[in-house]
Amino acid sequence: MDPFGHLKIVSQLLDVPIIDKDERSCGIVDDIELGGSAGKEMRVEALLVGPGAYKGRMPKWMYWLVRKIAGNRMVRVPAKAVVEIGSVVKLNVCGEDLGLHQAEDKAAGWIPRWGAM
Amino acid sequence: MNPLELTLGIMTAVGGFVDISQLVFSGQAGSKFGYVLISAFAISTIGIMVFSEMCGRVAAVAHQPVFSLMRHRLGLKLGLFTLIFSFLSTLITCAAEIGGLGMILNHLTGAPYAVMCIASTLVLMASMWVLPFKWIERTYGLLGLFMVVFVVAVVAIHPPWPKVIGGFVPQVPQGLSTKEMLSFSYFVVAILSAVMFPYEAYFYSSGGIEEGWGAKDLLTNRVTSIVGMGLGTLLSIAIVALAAQLFAPANVAPQIPGSVALQAAIPFGKPGLLLALLGMLFAVAGAAVETCMANAYSVSQFFGWEWGRHSKPWDAPRFTIAWIAVMLVALLIVLTGVEVMSLVEYSIVFSIVVLPLSYFPLMLLANDKSYMGQYANKWLAKGLGWLFFGFVTIAAIAAIPLYLLTSGG
């Protein structure tokens, strides 16, 4: 099944949470890369994840602020890695394989692994 | 249904309703306007019951917490605006709760206020680190039930019951001057804001997901939201009634939690005072945990991070860093020496502004049959949802002018 069959991109895909095949949260669909050209069929080529993808979606001053706080990292998730689109976007691969989870893994290094039930 | 499953609703409600702002605010409402404002609590409670039931249902069926919905439905820019405002209002509320804890512990032990603020913050953080979500909600939810002493106190002082019951009928007191009328309006708006604090929805919906709710838990959700929120309102109304009976005739307007605790001391003496202070201590501690976690939930869900305290802190590292940071910044705000009641007023005004933006996406999703299937809103939930959405929108427009005109009531 093609999860992108007929899709309302803004209402069904943009700003939807992404989870990988291990059910780990991998961010949000921050922007979408489309393929095709005028007069031809448009297709979703990839999902863009990370603050770098905010660039075209907010005023310049706001993006400047976001970039200062969160950087401009952006990960490209190819459309073929998407297996299902619903209340979340499900991937058929591990987030790590696509370069997702890097900030989460980095933060994990700061957290001591003791004391919690 | 296991009765312990109700603890999520009890903690949400006791921590949401009977937090430091409600404690002092309910007392002031009763002492200034008698029993009249009971109706504002009762009506707002129906609103929070409707929206929390909706939050829980969406969490159970679509497995989506409020902030994910908000980002998806409002888009990045408006979603970010809502995130920033709700984060600030909840952070200020969290600071007010820590300040409240410091005051209550100061009453109980006589130790310096600042030391008690630091000590209570460290204890709260330790409990959030050590305990999994289920035990956090059970500990603070159940210990907050000491607050029931206020309900027993109302019965013990034999209030004029026809007047108490009459307070449930919406009315405007007769013969108020313009200034008093504005103050009354401010109290109505502030009660609506405080009862329907957005962080309650964030916490409740995230809590439902933490507990792994599914469609089979919809009855638990309904009972939890009605019983939990109903209990929270009962406690607030008890404080209003006590203040109307005990403080209003003497023209006393309680400004600190200790004055409110005296309401239980009048009928029951020292044991009543102790129970009231303990109840307030645990309810306010629950509110501090709730606000802190609500902020960490919001940020994590908005940016799609791993989140939740059902897993170990190191399995959701950015979420863990977020709640630790929120707690420490809230403590720093308190240690600047700002007055707790000023923090309460700021948080109420900030909160009301984001209320419509919090509940609008929730209404859209709960109405959406493509997500919710047979569990989408039916006519009653839809009708009540839009009605209360109208109320919070009007209150949001009126809040800041009323705050400025009345200098916070």
Best interface-test mutation with B: which of A6, A18, A28 has the largest number of B CBs within 10 A?
Answer: A28
Best interface-test mutation with B: which of A6, A111, A114 has the largest number of B CBs within 10 A?
Answer: A111
Tell me how far apart the alpha carbons of residues A48 and A27 are, in angstroms, rounded to a whole number: 10
Q: Do B318 and A25 touch (CB under 8 A)?
A: no
Q: Do A116 and B312 touch (CB under 8 A)?
A: yes
**Per-residue pLDDT, B141:** 79
Q: Do B320 and A115 touch (CB under 8 A)?
A: no
CA distance, residue B401 to nearest chain A CA (Å)? 28
Burial (CB < 10 A; 0-12, 13-18, 19+), residue B324, is middle
CATH topology of domain A9-108: SH3 type barrels. (2.30.30)
Q: Read out DSSP for A27-92? A: EE--EEEEE--TTS--EEEEEEESGGGGGGGS-HHHHHHHHHHH----EEEEGGGEEEESSSEEES
CA distance, residue B290 to nearest chain A CA (Å)? 19
| CATH (domain of B359) | 1.20.1740.10
**Per-residue pLDDT, B174:** 84
CA distance, residue A117 to nearest chain B CA (Å)? 5
Best interface-test mutation with A: which of B81, B133, B298, B303 has the largest number of A CBs within 10 A?
Answer: B303
| pLDDT, tens digit, 9 for 90 and up, residues A27-73 | 999 999 988 877 788 888 999 999 999 988 889 999 999 899 888 89
**Per-residue pLDDT, B254:** 78
Mean of the per-residue pLDDT values for chain B? 89
Chain B hits for A25, Cβ within 8 Å = 304-307
| pLDDT, tens digit, 9 for 90 and up, residues B183-209 | 999 999 988 888 888 888 888 889 889
Residue B308: closest C-alpha in chain A: A25
Pairing, β A17-19 against β A89-91: parallel
Query: The complex's ipTM?
Result: 0.92
Which member of B68, B301, B317 has the closest CB to residue A107? B317
Q: How many domains does chain B have?
A: 1
- Is the predicted pLDDT of residue B16 greater than 60, yes or no? no
- Is the predicted pLDDT of residue B377 greater than 80, yes or no? yes
Residue closest to B209 by CA, chosen among B361, B355, B319, B57: B57
Q: Do B129 and A115 touch (CB under 8 A)?
A: yes
Residue A50: closest C-alpha in chain B: B303
- Is the predicted pLDDT of residue B9 greater than 80, yes or no? no
Note the helical H segments in B144-197.
Answer: 149-156, 161-166, 178-195
**Per-residue pLDDT, B37:** 93
Which member of A30, A58, A117 has the closest CB to residue B130? A117
CB B180 within 8 A of CB B326: no
Q: Do A17 and B321 touch (CB under 8 A)?
A: no
Query: What is the residue range of B46's domain?
Result: 3-406
Residue closest to B174 by CA, chosen among B38, B34, B39, B43: B34
Instruction: Find the mean pLDDT for residues B62-89.
Output: 86
Where in chain A are the domains? 9-108
Provide the number of CB pairs (under 8 Å) joining chain A to chain B.
75
Residue B77: closest C-alpha in chain A: A58
Residue B10 pLDDT class (50, 70, 90 cuts): low
Q: Do A28 and B135 touch (CB under 8 A)?
A: no
| Longest CA span, chain A | 61
Which phi and psi angles does B347 have, rounded to 5°?
-65, -35
Q: Do A115 and B130 touch (CB under 8 A)?
A: yes
Chain B hits for A107, Cβ within 8 Å = 317-318, 321
| pLDDT, tens digit, 9 for 90 and up, residues B155-181 | 999 999 999 999 999 998 888 889 889
pTM: 0.91
Q: Do A107 and B318 touch (CB under 8 A)?
A: yes
Tell me how far apart the alpha carbons of residues B187 and B168 are, in angstroms, rounded to a whole number: 16
Chain A hits for B307, Cβ within 8 Å = 25
Q: Do A25 and B307 touch (CB under 8 A)?
A: yes
Listed in order, strand segments (DSSP E) in B255-299 are none
Residue A117 pLDDT class (50, 70, 90 cuts): confident
User: What whole-number percentage of chain A has pLDDT above 70?
Assistant: 93
Chain B hits for A58, Cβ within 8 Å = 76-77, 80
CA distance, residue A16 to nearest chain B CA (Å)? 6
Tell me how far apart the alpha carbons of residues B240 and B164 are, in angstroms, rounded to a whole number: 10
Q: Do A27 and B131 touch (CB under 8 A)?
A: no
- Is the predicted pLDDT of residue B237 greater than 70, yes or no? yes
- What CA dihedral angle connects B36, B38, B43 and B49, to 10 degrees? 170
- Is the predicted pLDDT of residue B11 greater than 70, yes or no? no
Helix (H, G, I), strand (E, B) or coil at B318: helix
Instruction: Find the mean pLDDT for residues B31-44.
Output: 93
Show which residues on chain B lie within 8 Å of chain A, measured between beta carbons. 62-64, 68, 71-72, 75-77, 79-80, 129-132, 135, 301-307, 312-314, 317-318, 320-321, 371
Tell me how far apart the alpha carbons of residues B24 and B13 are, in angstroms, rounded to a whole number: 16
Residue B320: CB atoms within 10 A of its CB come to 26
Q: Do A110 and B63 touch (CB under 8 A)?
A: no
Helix (H, G, I), strand (E, B) or coil at A35: strand
Best interface-test mutation with A: which of B63, B67, B76, B301 has the largest number of A CBs within 10 A?
Answer: B76
Q: Residues with Cβ < 8 Å from B318, sequence gap 6 or more?
A: A103, A104, A107, B300, B305, B306
Show which residues on chain A lie within 8 Å of chain B, measured between beta carbons. 14-18, 24-28, 30, 49, 54, 57-58, 62, 86-88, 103-104, 107-108, 110-113, 115-117
**Per-residue pLDDT, B20:** 81
Residue closest to A70 by CA, chosen among B206, B69, B333, B80: B80
